[in-house]
Structure formats: C-alpha cells, structure tokens
Amino acid sequence: MAISLPDARQLSDEVLEALRLRALRGCELGFTEADVAAMLGVSQETVSHWWTAYATGGLDAIPSARTGRPVGTGRTLSDEQARHIQNQIDHQSPEELGIPSPLWSRRAVRDLIRQEFSIAMPVRTVGEYLRRWGYTAKRPRRHARQQDPEEVRRWLEETYPAIEKRAAEQGAAIYWCDETGVAADEHPRYGYARKGCPATMEVPDTHIRMNQISAISNAGTVRFMTYKGSMDGALFTVFLGRLLRTVTRKILLIVDRLKAHEKRTVANWVEAHKDRIEVIPMPARTPELNPDEYLNNDLKGNVNEAGLPANKEDLRSRMQRFMRRLFFAPKHVMNYFLHPCVQYAAGT
C-alpha cells in the first residue's frame, strides 16, 4: 500500500524549514531533484528553486516565506471545463493545439488550461486533476513523423484483415519478419546500486556487433538466422529458403520497407516459389506495428544479462541461445502480440 504524504502547504513553518534542509542534503548526496521531491512530497519546481538559491547564496538565500495562494483558494475547473480538457487530451496532441510539447505532460496540460479558460493553475494541481481523471504517466510509444496516417489506417482496417482472410482460405501461415543489430554493450534495462550512485558497467574496448533476421507467428513459432555485415537481397533469399524448409504450409511473410526486401533478385526468387511464399510490405516507417520488433527489444534487453561478450562469436552464441529458448516457449512469443500496437495481429 502506497503511503500518502500530507500537502506540504499545510505543514508548519518549522516542518517546512526541516524539509528544505533535507531537500538540500539530498541534492548534495547526488539524488535527482525529482527523487527528492517525490520522497518529501513537494514539487520538483520547489526543490529546484531551493537548490538554485542555495547554490547561489547559501542557506541565507533560501526563501523562508510561504508563496502562492492559501490552500483552498483559487479558481478551479467546472465539470464542463474538465470534460472539455479531457476531450482535448484524448483526441489531439499538444502540438496540434499550438502547445510546444511532444507529449501531454503536466506543464502541457497547464498551458492548455490557461489557453482555453485563462486559468493559471499550479503544475501540482494539474497533476491532481490528471490523477482524478484517471490519467497516469507512461513511457511513450514512438512512431516516425514521416508515417502516412492514411496508409496506416488502410493497413489496419483493410489490408491486414484481407491478408488474414486470404491466409484462412489458403491454409497459409502469417509470419512477421524483421532484422536487428545487437552490440556487445547491450545491457539489462536496470541495475541496482547504492542510493546516490549510478549503476555502472565495463564495456568492451572494441565495437563488437552481430546482426539477426527473424520471423514469428501469432501461434508462437519463431525462426531466425544470425549474420555479419549488412542485409542484402542475396542474404535475404537465403533466409527465405531456410524458412521454407522448416515451415510446411504456405507462408505470407510481412516485412518492412528495407531496400534488401525490394531487390529484383528477391522478387525473382519469390516469383519462382510463389506457390509456397508471398512477401508483403508493411506501411513505411511503422516499426511499432511489427510484432517482431518487440522480440528484438526483448533480445537486446536480455542477451548480455550474464555479462558482456568477449568477441563476436561469443555474442553470436548468446543471441542463438536466447532465440533457441524461444523455440520451447511459444507462449512467450505469443506475448509479443499483446502489445497495444500489435494486438490487431494477435488473431482470435
């Protein structure tokens, strides 16, 4: 159960003074302003203000007087205004509304409220509204600015449903294909260290890298091939040939717009094997719509968990061990299709 801290504005002057000193001590020990603010129950802006004043003029420069409106005063949003703001957040980006922010942060919502209703609201109050409305901070999904929204819409609503229908009629299997490069200094996503000290690791002196192409289905099957150098048409057809040798059904292979996939040699090879395989391009610049992209992320986050490799062959062996484990973990592979961006490909 999370501990709820009291509103700092309701604390006595003596307690506030103690909070200021603890905030400064935390910053001196290397904690971030955000961490200090979270631990003490004050805003990051307040901690930043205290720390800047202290760094400039010492303890005497820290403001001790209370600032801002008294608790409980000030204009708040009506129910109608609140619904309007939520509708804007749900259906438009900040930039579409003239607010210079790529995401809806507390400051961006504050600016929206000021823009729409001429209400100056503290960032912390904005955060309280967002929590009350059911919004939480999330790591953003990325997509390229150059995406064609209409092409993406057609893919999701027309093209892919037609592919599924054709696969069912032909008894074919749909596979998703992607390439990735793994470096020797790929590391686990998190590492523990003492508070105030960063988690560190030693990395190889030379740049060690290995590449991989893989294909997965929503039934949990996976096929892969590691390789050195760049992917080209000849190498891609080698992978296609291996894929046909291990999958008995006809394959509808969905790929991105990598130039190697569009080479004339590839088109000729696919034409010669059209009774066994079709290669279908996705919309341009849409990696988030490819389930195999999430396998790549999983690989990079775990391949060096036991320590960094000494050379390319060591790295290749680690990649192969990770991928071979997936052969016996179909449910793990199927979980890649549970990401919100690719649930459309999860099947029924």
Q: Is the pLDDT of residue 67 over 60?
A: no
Neighbours of 333 (CB within 10 A): 22
Radius of gyration of the chain (CA): 27
Looking at residue 73, its pLDDT comes to 43
Cα-based angle 83, 87, 88 (whole degrees, multiple of 5): 120
Q: How confident is the model at residue 63 (pLDDT cuts 50, 70, 90)?
A: low
Looking at residue 34, its pLDDT comes to 83
User: Is the pTM of the predicted complex or chain greater than 0.85?
Assistant: no
Q: Considering only CA atoms, which of 316, 319, 309 is closest in space to residue 205?
A: 309
What 3-state class would DSSP assign to 101?
A: coil
Q: pLDDT: is 102 or 338 the higher one?
A: 338
Q: How confident is the model at residue 147 (pLDDT cuts 50, 70, 90)?
A: confident
**Superfamily designation of domain 149-183+207-345:** Ribonuclease H-like superfamily/Ribonuclease H (3.30.420.10)
Q: What is the pLDDT of residues 256-280, one digit of tens each?
A: 999 999 999 999 999 999 999 999 9
* Block residue for tokens 């229908």: 165
Q: pLDDT: is 105 or 186 the higher one?
A: 105
Q: What is the pLDDT of residues 161-178, one digit of tens each?
A: 999 999 999 999 999 999
Residue 87, classified by CB atoms within 10 Å of its CB into exposed (0-12), middle (13-18) or buried (19+), is exposed
- End-to-end Cα spacing for the chain: 37
Mind giving me the DSSP string for 296-348?
HHHHHHHTTTT---SSHHHHHHHHHHHHHHHHT-HHHHHHGGGSGGGGGGS--
